[in-house]
Amino acid sequence: MFTHTERLIAIRNLRPKRKQGFLKIISLFSFLGIMLGVAVLIIVMSVMNGFRVELTNKIIGLNPHLVIQFNNDSDLKNIKKKINQKYDDINLTESITGEGIILTNNKAKGILIKGINEKNKSQSFLNKEITKGNLNDFSTGRIMIGGELAYNLNLKVGDKINIVSSSFIDTPFGSIPKQDNFIIAGFFDSGFYQFDQNLIYLELYDSKSIFGKEDGNVDLEVFLKDPFLAEKYKKEIEKFNQNIFVSTWSDTNKSFFNALKVERNVMFIILTLIIVVAAFNIISGLIILIKNKTKEIAIIKTLGMSKKSIIRSFFLTGFTIGFIASVTGIIFGVLFSIYIDEIRNTLSMLFGINIFPSDVYYLEKMPSEINAISVSIVFIISLIITSIASYFPAKSISKMKTTEALKYE
């Protein structure tokens, strides 16, 4: 692509004379700016990818992979039958979700109530997230509540509480809300504050009783071997009956994932600007270099070297700085991303502060997921910015007149 002579000129330009110390400083800042920009961009993208993966896994663990909602019981029975006939790799369980109020210790709190089948409790996230109590104690008349909710209401395992549902029963004195007493069987910690602060689990029989079957939202929860095939199963199940509504775990948390995506894209744009700013140093450096070598450029022109070759040699000078800086930045960025949790622990010990506390982020370690496509995109963008920054100063050589350049001092 570049001739031997063009490469020699580019190498010579990268080694400025001692009296050109200012040029060395500009080249150094260009190199460091691009290197740090690429490295930081890769680190941030890797951490955000890690967050997305970790949070996705948590959300999949907290939610059924598909939820099917029905208009009546006959639809529920027919769909269950069709699914069991067609698929042998799917687990089904009924659930009821509704709103209510928890009353205890002269305190009241609005809550979300979810009823699950006692036989299927091992399939739910409760199987892994119980912090106090025992899942085997979860049965009729007993409930599981979030640890944050228990803390705020000053509750402990074995306490009796009263739950008031959003369904009503008719009495001679008018309509009153359904309510019942339950014993706390245990606490769970999902890692999501909104879950732990507002959610309680009842046995399915209790939830049907407290809501009334006609008032409760009776759903069919579907658990797949591969949660990432949920969209495929959704389309197939929807064909069974037009009167059902099917949602996937990603549909339920769509706004959350959209927010993560927007945040990731904004961070990418902001950090790319670091590389752009560093590229301006390449422009400044090349302009100064060309100005200092005006007479030399005129001499090699008179010796027969074409303007195109001279432009290419100076373009190669700037591009080489950007290329080496980008490669170095990728190496540092990838290594930092791989050992980011060890670096975090070391910094925490040195400065005596807890960087990335687990009680705030609900993750035991700082996540990092290096994505080869993301790294490639960062590298390509860096090279494009560097190429543009190198081209325009080099192009200015074409406007230089040889006779005037030879007079230049």
Q: Residue ranges per domain, the chain?
A: 4-57+257-407, 65-249
Residue 405 has pLDDT above 60, yes or no: no
Token code pair at residue 165:
């549902």
Judged by DSSP in three states, 185 sits in strand
What pLDDT was estimated at residue 215? 46
What pLDDT was estimated at residue 177? 78
Mean pLDDT within 215-222: 72
Report which residue type is found at 120: N
| pLDDT tens profile 231-256 | 999 998 888 887 888 899 888 888 88
Within 10 A of 105 (CB to CB), how many other CB atoms are there?
Answer: 10
Bridge partners (DSSP) of residue 43 are none
**Half-sphere exposure of residue 142, counting CA atoms within 13 Å on the CB side?**
14
What pLDDT was estimated at residue 327? 93
**DSSP assignment string, 215-247:** TSEEEEEEEESSGGGHHHHHHHHHTT-TT-EEE
Residue 406 has pLDDT above 60, yes or no: no
| pLDDT tens profile 353-362 | 777 666 566 5
In angstroms, the CA 153 to CA 102 distance is 10
CB 179 within 8 A of CB 163: yes
In angstroms, the CA 14 to CA 250 distance is 52
- CA proximity to 48, closest of 369, 396, 385: 369
- Residue 270 CA: distances (Å) to CA of 41, 177, 274, 277, 409: 9, 53, 7, 11, 42
In angstroms, the CA 343 to CA 339 distance is 6
At how many degrees (to 10) do helices 294-302 and 307-338 cross? 130
Residue 160 has pLDDT above 70, yes or no: yes
Report which residue type is found at 35: M
In angstroms, the CA 39 to CA 330 distance is 6
Lowest mean pLDDT among 101-115, 209-223, 267-281, 304-318: 209-223
| pLDDT tens profile 122-153 | 556 666 677 787 777 888 888 888 888 888 88
Within 10 A of 281 (CB to CB), how many other CB atoms are there?
Answer: 22
- CA proximity to 120, closest of 134, 139, 107: 139
| pLDDT tens profile 28-58 | 777 888 888 889 889 888 888 888 888 888 8
Sign of CA dihedral 397, 400, 404, 409: negative
In angstroms, the CA 341 to CA 349 distance is 12
Mean pLDDT within 191-198: 80
Q: Which residues contact 182 (CB under 8 A, 6 or more apart)?
A: 141, 142, 143, 160, 161, 162, 163, 202, 206
What pLDDT was estimated at residue 330? 93
pTM summary value: 0.72
- Residue 90 CA: distances (Å) to CA of 64, 147, 220, 246, 371: 11, 31, 12, 15, 31
CB 355 within 8 A of CB 249: no
Dump strand ranges (E) for 341-397: none
Cα angle 384, 321, 343; round to 5? 90
- CA proximity to 113, closest of 137, 95, 97: 97
Residue 407 has pLDDT above 60, yes or no: no
Residue 26 has pLDDT above 80, yes or no: no
Bridge partners (DSSP) of residue 55 are none
Work out the pLDDT band at 371, boundaries 50, 70, 90.
Answer: confident
What pLDDT was estimated at residue 329? 92
Residue 382 has pLDDT above 80, yes or no: yes
In angstroms, the CA 98 to CA 115 distance is 9
CB 158 within 8 A of CB 132: no
Report H helices in 242-293: 249-252, 254-292
Report H helices in 135-215: 147-152, 193-198, 204-211
| pLDDT tens profile 79-103 | 888 888 888 888 888 888 888 889 8
